[in-house]
Structure 1
Amino acid sequence: MEHLLKLSSLTPDEIIHILDVADEYKRLHKAGTDPKDLQGKAIALMFGKHSTRTRTSLEVGIYQMGGLGTYLSAADMQIARGEPIQDTARVLGRYYDAIVYRTFKQSDVDALARYSGVPVVSGMTDYAHPLQVLTDLMTVREYKGKLAGLKAGFVGDGYNMANSLIVGCLMMGMDFTIACPNGYRPSADVLFFAREYGDHFKLTTAPDEAARGADVLFTDVWTSMGMERETERRRRDFSGFCLDAARMALAKPDCIVQHPLPAHRGEEITPDVFETHADEIFDEAENRLHVEKAVLGILLAGK
């Protein structure tokens, strides 16, 4: 693994290795013996999108591993005044050992990796959210003891989370059904990827189909960052796509719920379903810390 830009650039073995390293870092952290695998390393944390979990978990994780994480708001950098991304990349690559970039365009993250000369990790784009989905896979494996053979469902927008979940779950041997309204389908290239998995993948406009018999159900906000002007239209379009008690009753009795947060209770998930599954959701939030440490440990410390 040279970079982490999207999950489809990894092999199944590489994904499993990341999860195994994350498990080990979590075990060591709980034991109070965080290894200093990033000692002397500096990581640029470049953010063009707002963040709670990604920023804080990276800053804390890098500190725990003995490294330096520098938060860089893209709005305060020269790229906000027109500096080409390739020039920013070549400068940061001479200062830092790795760069994490959270932004809108996938092409900007790809360009950063092309020109920086150091490992680049996507902290999220409009196309993909690989760190979050690796976290989801880690959490599901913790709760279920395996990934292969599980039935996963997603109810909501076919946006970045859906794109990455389709790839990650299918690569791990899971069946995956996504339910989204017409006009909110996942990216065409992701659907093309999913075709290789035949009956293990299903795209539908019926949320109950995604929930029926599921071992794990995923959802996300209906209005992502940058789409705020579409809020009211999206609420209308996604009417009936909420994870509520009736829909959860269609899943297996021990079905878990995963949500990347922040959650809009009463929209994509009801307050009672959220609170019933809060332990799973906040274990998921904690696991971002361990997954990010694993990715950086593999890229910079040869873990």
Structure 2
Amino acid sequence: MFWCLRNKNILSFLNHTRKEIIHLLDLTCELKHAKKLGIEKTCLIGKNIALIFEKTSTRTRCSFEIAAYNQGAHITYINKTSQIGEKESIEDTAKVLSRIFDAIVYRGFSHLNIELLSKYANIPVFNALTNEFHPTQILADIFTMIENSEKKINNISYAYLGDARSNVGRSLIIIGAKLGMDVRIASPKLLWPSLDFIIACEKIAWFSGANLNFMEDPFLAVKGVDFIYTDVWVSIGESIQCWSDRIKLLMPYQVNNNLIKNSNNPIVKLMHCLPSFHNIETILSKQIINKYNYLDKGIEISEEVFKSSANIAFEQSENRMHTIKSILISSLI
């Protein structure tokens, strides 16, 4: 194993080197291949992992649980009904769990909470999503790009369209900058990350050789790109009232056939971290579309595009499990 990652937290990828991220991607490839062939070795027998989930989850929870089970580890799921932050401080929680478990996985709202957990825990802490970052999702996304491209990683280009302040948007900026990739962020300036964050990522990009560009024109962003990435326009925990303003701002950034054609790349791939509001088959999407009738063919991505062969979102979903397995093994053995 790559010794530098042993017992290392993953809160975002800001504090990881390019070599460390590449190691996780390479190990993911080995683990996925072994699972497909039925020759996977269990490396985490006897390990116990706490999952603290204050936000709902489908893909992330399933990925962590199955990754752990496949590797022989045990999972304890702790939901938002626990005493954390209400009857027991985060500091005390971290110290208690450190004496019982081998790792903590946290999914919640404020990034400060996971920073406090990692400060007071003496076991690895992994970010399964906070308002600011979603590193386990983005590692799977990059791995999916590698699988779907014949290019070297530093020659791969992707455009993210949507709210660039989101955990997915910010995480895509960080990892692309770290890996020397061609990253285009298309969003209204009002929805760009803070200037301090942009400057920090530009410094990383300067050292890695990455092309990091922020722009308001979605059609310029997708020109010749290998991957087009979008996400829901309102994040978990935000009020439904946010939809009105976001729709006004982001409607020009909807991923639809017109945008795809403007990429001038017949083999461009579409990415989405899911869930996606591409039709009216969910309660929330019905609520939104009943109010905005012109969105009946999809919100951040059109139904036609989502159902096309260019969409690799479900590959991203599967790869969550493989990349999480890589993280657990690298940190715990």
User: Which of 180, 184, 195 is equivalent to 2:187?
Assistant: 180
Measure how far apart 1:116 and its partner are.
Answer: 1.1
Aligned AA (1:10): H
Instruction: Please say which of residues 130-139 and 226-235 is displaced more in the overlay.
Output: 226-235
Give the deviation of 1:174 after TM superposition: 1.1
Aligned CA RMSD, in angstroms, stands at 1.4
State the aligned residue count: 300
Out of 24, 32, 37, the position equivalent to 2:38 is: 32
Matched, 1:272 2:304: yes
Deviation at 1:277, TM superposition (A): 4.2
Counterpart CA distance in 2 for 1:63 and 1:151 is: 35
Distance, in Å, in 2 between the alignment partners of 1:264 and 1:14 is 34
User: Which whole-Å CA distance do the structure 1 matches of 2:157 and 2:109 have between them?
Assistant: 30
- Could you tell me which residue of structure 2 aligns to residue 21 of structure 1? 27
**Which whole-Å deviations, capped at 9, do the CAs of 1:207-255 have from their partners, x for residues lacking one?**
1122111111111000111113312221222121100111111222211
Partner of 2:199: 192
Unmatched segments (≥5 aa) in structure 2: 279-297
1:82 deviates by: 4.0
Q: Distance in 2 between matches of 1:217 and 1:42?
A: 38
1:98 aligned onto 2:111: no
**Secondary structure in structure 2 of the residue aligned to 1:148:** helix
SS in 1 for 2:332: helix
1:167–1:190 CA contact under 8 A, matched in 2:
no
Corresponding position of 1:10: 16
Shift of 1:193: 2.2
Report the equivalent of 2:222: 211
Matched residue type, 1:133: I
| Equivalent residue runs for 1:108-187 within 5 Å | 108-145=113-150, 146-158=152-164, 159-187=166-194
1:76 alignment partner, SS class = coil
Q: What is residue 76 of structure 1 aligned with on the other side?
A: 81
Distance across 1 between alignment mates of 2:22 and 2:261: 31
Alignment TM-score, normalising by the size of structure 2: 0.87
Structure 2 distance, partners of 1:44, 1:273, is 38
Instruction: Say which SS state the counterpart of residue 25 (structure 1) adopts.
Output: helix
Query: What is residue 256 of structure 2 aligned with on the other side?
Result: 244
Could you say which residue in structure 1 is the equivalent of 2:284? Answer: none
Q: Which runs of 5+ in 1 are unaligned?
A: none
- Local SS of the residue matching 2:189: coil
